[in-house]
Amino acid sequence: MKTTILLFFILFSVTVLGSNKQEKSNISGVVYENVRGYKIPLSLASIQCKGTTIGTFSEKTGDFELDLPEGKYTVTFSFAGYKPVKKELKIKKNKKIYLEVTLEDNTGFAQN
């Protein structure tokens, strides 16, 4: 009897927890910096979704990846010394989005 109750509890838990799982969509891309008119991959740029705790940093190659549930988001790309870029995204479940974002120098000085 105890085994039957335990088995029922485990199956019920798996079913309930599995059904509450939100389907997410993949957002990926590359963050660049503009150097004398050339796009150079920018590592460690911050990628944050406004109003959430969801975020990441770009890799050495400028690549980034986020998984977001369905909804509307403002995603901000930033790095010290560069003007932040905001993108408004409408996420649909199980859809992939690819972005290329270029950050511009914010120092007020012309690049050599």
Domain boundaries, the chain: 23-103
**Is the pLDDT assigned to residue 23 strictly greater than 60?**
yes
pLDDT digits (tens, 9 = 90+) for 37-71: 999 999 999 999 999 999 999 999 999 999 999 99
Q: Contacts by 60-68 with C-beta closer than 8 Å and gap 24+? A: 61/30, 62/30, 62/31, 62/32, 63/28, 63/29, 63/30, 64/28, 64/29, 64/30, 64/31, 65/26, 65/27, 65/28, 66/26, 66/27, 66/28, 67/24, 67/25, 67/26, 67/27, 68/24, 68/25, 68/27
**Is the pLDDT assigned to residue 91 strictly greater than 90?**
yes
pLDDT digits (tens, 9 = 90+) for 66-84: 999 999 999 999 999 999 9
**Is the pLDDT assigned to residue 36 strictly greater than 70?**
yes
CATH number at 23-103: 2.60.40.1120
